[in-house]
Amino acid sequence: MADLLQKYEKLRRRHDDLVRFGADAVMLVNERLLSPTRAIINGRETILAGTNNYMGVTFEPDCIAAGKRALEQYGTGTTGSRIANGTYALHVQLEEALARFMNRRSCMVFSTGFQANLSMIAGLCGPEDTIFIDMDSHASIHDGCRLSGAKVVVFRHNDVEHLAKRLERHPAERGGRLVIVEGIYSMLGDFAPLKEIVALKREHDFQLLVDEAHSFGVLGETGRGLAEMAGVEEGVDFIVGTFSKSLGGIGGYAVSNHPHFDVLRYAARPYMFTAAPSPASMATTLCALKKIEAEPERRDILMRNAEHLQKGLKEKGFELGFDGAITPVVAVICPTEPAAVAMWNALLENGVYVNLALPPGTPKKLALLRASVSSAHTPEEIDAVIAAFEKARAAVADLV
């Protein structure tokens, strides 16, 4: 009998090779957090420029106080599922607050964004249905599709014509059709041509789900995401999001105006058969939501920082994965994988953390250094990140 972990031999060897270059990118430890943008890594004070802390709310005193209060009032954990003993007043309050913020009829809160996608996709779709997904979709979307047992059709990234062709070729037979796209694609920071996709509804019958994990809080006049920015909220049937990025917590949500949306509470297995998120998570998320609602200037600062980093890196001659608009994800394309790994290590040595993103988890097989900004970054920190990129490039000149 084959050893079950034998199949990862090649993967393991590749990882060992990467680690030989320097630090272990998948087991990097933040020894201490100093602020939303600073941590101690390998004993060194490091600027965090590879988080999803877009609104910079992870150290807000009132959110921390709300979390502490929830711990004292409700205890450390829920010890049960939402459909059993795990629904507390805080879960309901957060669902109501999110529904109001998103201007939707109903909201469901999940233990993570990953589970929100699994629940929604496998809850909405079954073997009789067809799902159309962008080929660069997040792992949780791919896995949700698999879990659903639906027919899955993939279209080229952000290619509306290709999607239209696919919709034509896969007519709704007995079941329904769901199209899934993302508000901001996490690797490159680009976003779906949502207006054009919604327009396809005039000729093709389908329901539309948008994963606003990275765009919630970031895009749109009031931070509701890409659907708001594109002015097509009416055409989007379901929105999924997460608390782990702009809201600085952990958990996920889905909102909709569908009158029967709540049936998913007792139909979606990844919602039903997992413990409800902890009271402290609900309390800090609720507080963070109020904060980003009350302080829209955070979004303006975020966008200024994003433009600063994007422009700065471009001026220094770095090739970016996407620069068609300003978004808080700024991905530098490296010529080769070894160059990316070496530069990532050199950045760390220069006190800057970014995400190292390697194929096959990246679009178009790119070797990426994915930087992202927060509204909590100062202009000086952004300058320091740009300077560190230059230093890192010089340090690996023989590889570039």
Ligand X SMILES: Cc1ncc(COP(=O)(O)O)c(C=O)c1O
- Residues tagged active-site: 186, 214, 245
- Per CB under 6 A, the segment of 67-75, 109-117, 123-131, 315-323 that binds ligand X is 109-117
The residue (of 211 and 233) whose beta carbon lies closer to ligand X is 211
The residue (of 130 and 345) whose beta carbon lies closer to another protein is 130
> Cα–Cα distance between 20 and 392 in angstroms, integer?
18
| Contacted by 154, from another protein, ligand X, none: CB < 5 to 8 Å by type | another protein
Minimum separation from the CB atom of position 42 to ligand X (A): 24
Site membership for ligand X, residue 190 (CB under 6 A):
no
Minimum separation from the CB atom of position 169 to another protein (A): 4
The residue (of 138 and 166) whose beta carbon lies closer to another protein is 166
Among residues 136, 211, 228, 237, the one that binds ligand X under rule CB under 6 A: 211
Token pair in block for residue 292? 């980003």
- Per CB under 8 A, the segment of 148-156, 232-240, 256-264, 376-384 that binds another protein is 148-156
User: Within 278-317, which residues bind ligand X (CB under 6 A)?
Assistant: none
| Contacted by 117, from another protein, ligand X, none: CB < 5 to 8 Å by type | ligand X
Site membership for ligand X, residue 242 (CB under 6 A):
yes
**Secondary structure of the chain as H, E, C letters:** CCCHHHHHHHHHHHHHHHHHCCCCHHHCCEEEEEECCEEEECCEEEEECCCCCCCCCCCCHHHHHHHHHHHHHHCCCCCCECCCCCCCHHHHHHHHHHHHHHCCCEEEEECCHHHHHHHHHHHHCCCCCEEEEECCCCHHHHHHHHHHCCEEEEECCCCHHHHHHHHHHCCCCCCCEEEEEECCCCCCCCCCCHHHHHHHHHCCCCEEEEECCCCCCCCCCCCCCHHHHHCCHHHCCEEEEECCCCCCCCCEEEEECCCCHHHHHHCCHHHHCCECCCHHHHHHHHHHHHHHHHCCHHHHHHHHHHHHHHHHHHHCCCCECCCCCCCCEEEEEECCHHHHHHHHHHHHHCCEECEEECCCCCHHHCEEEEEECCCCCCHHHHHHHHHHHHHHHHHCCCCC
| Contacted by 186, from another protein, ligand X, none: CB < 5 to 8 Å by type | ligand X
| Contacted by 244, from ligand X, another protein, none: CB < 5 to 8 Å by type | ligand X
Size of the site for another protein (CB under 8 A): 14
Minimum separation from the CB atom of position 269 to another protein (A): 20
Site string for ligand X, 131-170 (x = CB under 6 A): -------x-x------------------------------
Among residues 36, 50, 113, 223, the one that binds ligand X under rule CB under 6 A: 113
Site membership for ligand X, residue 370 (CB under 6 A):
no
Minimum separation from the CB atom of position 360 to another protein (A): 4
Contact of 119 with 96, CB cutoff 8 Å: no
Site string for another protein, 169-198 (x = CB under 8 A): xx----------------------------
Token pair in block for residue 71? 């711990």
Site membership for another protein, residue 303 (CB under 8 A):
no
The residue (of 99 and 133) whose beta carbon lies closer to ligand X is 133
- Per CB under 8 A, the segment of 146-154, 202-210, 273-281, 301-309 that binds another protein is 146-154
Q: How many C-beta atoms surround the C-beta of residue 238 within 10 A?
A: 23
Among residues 158, 244, 284, 327, the one that binds ligand X under rule CB under 6 A: 244
- Per CB under 8 A, the segment of 164-172, 289-297, 339-347, 391-399 that binds another protein is 164-172
Q: Taking the CA atoms of 65, 70, 76 and 82 in sequence, report the sign of the dihedral they define.
A: negative
- Please provide residue 34's backbone torsions phi and psi, each rounded to the nearest 5 degrees: -100, -30
Minimum separation from the CB atom of position 132 to another protein (A): 10
Sheet containing 355-357: give its strands across. Answer: 329-334, 367-372, 355-357
> Cα–Cα distance between 388 and 396 in angstroms, integer?
12
> Cα–Cα distance between 102 and 216 in angstroms, integer?
10
Site membership for another protein, residue 360 (CB under 8 A):
yes
Chain positions contacting ligand X, by CB under 6 A: 112-114, 117, 138, 140, 182, 186, 211, 213-214, 242, 244, 252
Chain positions contacting another protein, by CB under 8 A: 130, 135, 145, 151-154, 156, 166, 169-170, 359-360, 365
